[in-house]
Amino acid sequence: MEPVLELKNLTKRLGNNNAVDDLSFTVNPGEVFGLLGPNGAGKTTTIRMIVGLISKTKGDVLINGTNMYEDFKKAMSDVGAIVENPEMYKFLSGYQNLLHFARMSQTEISKERINEVVKQVELEESIHKKVKTYSLGMRQRLGVAQAILHRPSLLILDEPTNGLDPQGIRDFRDYLRNLTKEGIAVMVSSHLLSEMQQMCDRVAIIQEGKLINISTIDEFSNEPNEGTLVHFEVDDAEKAQNLLAEQGSKIVKGQLQVMTKKENIPAMNETLVQGGVKIYGITSKNQSLEDKFLQITKAGEK
């Protein structure tokens, strides 16, 4: 499968420092790819280079195999993007905004296509109202509609859920999933780790402009060398802690918690039973994306 987006050693030097440093990764058709990093890590700078808003220092950006620095017009014809907040003419209706963007497009966009996109982002009831009456979530959906009018194969979104309420975030996540079913690749930059965990197929973590980890969401959550947090509901937490002292157990809210590998749980359970501890329940929780993100970025700082 040929990647929709490929970065090769992309670098942006600002002053004496590299804001983006030798960055390389790919984004595939039909996936939601997350770009994560602390503030100042280089996420927005990377996106701005990909869409041509700022120049590179070195490296290449390929979109469907086309080097954007060799044929910018062809490469960008396959890209839709919202960098920061979508900008619309608030005194026009949503439909008038889309019609205006359609007229500016290099490819012909029919009114049937506009209606198709409006339905896709579920704005049929509001599309003829002025944008100034739209909620933030509606404006975000209108922005996505505008970005996909020309049928791009790559959609790039920088912090798309900023300011949305929980229902708006969930709806937006569903819209993105519907897009990927059509084969569109979506690249999302965000600081909302819990949402990225539910939204993305793969995530890349960058720090100080460098790629320090790239994995699927399942790999982040189930990496075998990392611990699983196990909670034992017992009748005597102090006794249980003494029995599992070598495993680094601790008492939290009157119950026992241990960070261990999942395969160690049966043996620990047996130790507690043989030690006379009554066990009422055992629950385990893999590392969340947030846990893994903090672990990786702290290691990167060191």
Domain extents in the chain:
5-221, 227-286
pLDDT at 224: 46
Class of domain 5-221: alpha beta
Instruction: Name 17's Cβ contacts closer than 8 Å, sequence gap at least 6.
Output: none
pLDDT tier for residue 166 given thresholds of 50, 70 and 90: confident
| pLDDT recorded at residue 66 | 94
The pLDDT > 70 percentage for the chain reads 91
Cα separation of the two ends of the chain: 37
What is the rounded CA–CA span in Å between residue 151 and residue 55? 25
| pLDDT for the residue numbered 296 | 66
Mean pLDDT of 149-175: 83
Give the residue, 145 or 194, on which the prediction is more confident: 145
Answer whether 83's CB lies under 8 Å from 43's CB.
Answer: no
Q: What is the pLDDT of residue 294?
A: 67
From the number of C-beta atoms within 10 Å of its C-beta (0-12, 13-18, 19+), residue 265 rates as middle
Per residue in 52-96, pLDDT (tens digit) is 999 999 999 999 999 999 999 999 989 999 887 778 899 999 999
Distance separating alpha carbons of residues 75 and 60, to the nearest angstrom: 12
pLDDT score, position 6: 96
- In this structure, the number of other CB atoms found within 10 A of the CB of residue 221 comes to 18
User: Can you tell me the distance from the alpha carbon of 264 to that of 279, in angstroms, rounded to the nearest whole number?
Assistant: 16
Integer Cα distance of 150 and 249 in angstroms: 57
- pLDDT computed for residue 300 by the predictor: 52
Cα separation, 288 vs 116, whole angstroms:
37
Residue 58: partners with Cβ closer than 8 Å, 6 or more residues away:
9, 10, 11
Q: What is the mean pLDDT of the chain?
A: 85
Say what the pTM is. Answer: 0.75
Nearest Cα residue to 11 out of 3, 21, 25, 26? 21
Q: Which CATH class is domain 227-286?
A: alpha beta
Return the minimum-mean-pLDDT range out of 38-42, 121-125, 215-219, 298-302: 298-302
Q: Which two tokens stand for residue 151?
A: 């049928």
In this chain, the answer to whether the domains covering 5-221 and 227-286 adopt an identical fold is no
Q: Identify the pLDDT of residue 11.
A: 95
Surface-to-core class of residue 96, CB atoms within 10 Å of its CB (0-12 exposed, 13-18 middle, 19+ buried):
middle
Q: What percentage of residues in the chain have a pLDDT greater than 90?
A: 36
| Residue-level pLDDT at 161 | 75
Residue 130 vs residues 112, 115, 125, 143, 175: alpha-carbon distances, Å: 21, 17, 12, 14, 22
110 vs 192, higher pLDDT: 110
In tens, the pLDDT along 235-289 reads 988 888 888 888 888 888 888 888 888 788 899 899 999 999 999 988 876 666 6
pLDDT at 28: 94
d(CA 49, CA 62): 12
Position 72 scores a pLDDT of: 93
